[in-house]
Structure 1
Amino acid sequence: MQATNPLCEWMQCQCCTDGGDNQVYNCVTRNRRLSAQLVICGQVNKKGKRSPGHMIRIFPRELLLKEMVMFLSPLFFVFMLGLGLTPLTLAQDDRRYRHFLSQHYDRQPKGRDDRYCESIMKRRDLINPCKDVNTFIHGSRNDIKGICEDKNGEPYEGDLRISKSPFQITTCKHKGGSPRPPCKYRATRGYRVIVIGCENDWPTHFDESFIPPGQ
């Protein structure tokens, strides 16, 4: 039933009863952005006729909650999507960084000779098949990560960055022969500036190393 009250002309209303002396019009605005309820209040006389009443516009809690959910649901979806993607991105960066450390980082090496290379290459699972060349960086993780920032690095070629300060490194080179274990390596110790690849300010790839100029 359409409401005939002039105040309802801008709304779409349906009449029902509340079981008492009120006629209730459940209305929704034409633009669908606001739900409300119109109550026509009046008194019933002895002849059973309703006297003229007045209209009260109320907003039931249930309708307001529904409208809030309808309005906020897109924002909530974007918010939850952001929460979902952020941990995923962080997890990917952390996995790549840990892989980089596993292949190229050894803070306090012992010996740094051929036996050291053969031992660490085996421990880091780089011998199936025998990797031809691999470099291990010694020192502080923060100094290495600083290469990805202006703190200890600067742009090099493409997306690569070169360290501002040199690092102690040990390069392990396969002596040749069969690529299957046992793998024999020759160690070369040095003091080098290093070139690495970074993603989201995290080291992810070792490229090469150079002897610092003037040495």
Structure 2
Amino acid sequence: MASWVLCMTLVLAALAGALGETHYEKFLRQHVDNPRTPTLAAHRYCETMLARRQVTAPGRPCKPSNTFVHAPAADLVAACSQAPDPATGFHSTPSAMSLTACRLRGGNTRPPCAYRARQLQHHVRVACRDGLPVHLAGTSAGPQ
């Protein structure tokens, strides 16, 4: 009985933690890594970061792609003060930022997930809510 109570307590605590995360906090967890986290091998960056940030997890499908921005969160917040693109409603950073684009390799959609990493200098497009970025909508080599 005691082990069941402990198990339920841990499950409820985990759910409370997940429910307590705002959209902005989730955005930061999934997309901002500043300064860039060093890893043992550069080609393992995506697998390491996606697992560490709980973007991929056992029992869930592999995320097809994810981008980590290596700039201060304040620079992405500042993008929300830029005029949105009239066609999409997304806000774009005025300058290019260093980022790592992770793309799923092969056809395996279940963990363990294998990713290809590309280092880029791109503008970042975000969706904003209440002046904060909440969704990374994409990147582009030039301003949009």
TM tier, smaller: 0.7 to 0.9
What are the ranges of 5 or more consecutive residues in structure 2 without an aligned counterpart? 1-18
Tell me by how many angstroms 1:158 deviates: 3.3
Q: Which has the larger radius of gyration?
A: 1
TM-score, normalization by structure 2: 0.75
Work out the number of aligned pairs and report it.
Answer: 118
Shift of 1:125: 1.7
Any unmatched runs of 5+ in structure 1?
1-91
Q: Conserved in 2, the CA contact under 8 Å of 1:168 and 1:192?
A: yes
Pairwise CA distance, 1:139? 1.1
Identify, as 1 or 2, the structure richer in strand: 1
Any residues of structure 2 matched to 1:88-107 within 5 Å, and which?
95-107=22-34
2:92 is equivalent to residue 191 of structure 1:
no
Residue of structure 1 in register with 2:63 after alignment: 131
In the TM superposition, what whole-angstrom CA distance separates every residue of 1:153-180 from its partner, at most 9, and x where no partner exists?
3321332111111111100001023211
What RMSD, in angstroms, separates the aligned Cα atoms of the two structures?
1.9
1:121 aligns with one of 50, 69, 72: 50
- TM-score normalized with structure 1 length: 0.51
Partner residue, 1:45 = none
Are 1:174 and 2:104 counterparts?
yes
The structural deviation recorded for 1:205 is 0.5
2:30 aligned counterpart, secondary structure: helix
Tell which deviates more after alignment, 173-182 or 103-112: 103-112
Deviations 1:6-63 (A, max 9, x none): xxxxxxxxxxxxxxxxxxxxxxxxxxxxxxxxxxxxxxxxxxxxxxxxxxxxxxxxxx
Q: Does residue 1:144 correspond to 2:50, yes or no?
A: no
Could you tell me whether the CA contact under 8 Å between 1:131 and 1:174 is conserved in 2? Answer: yes
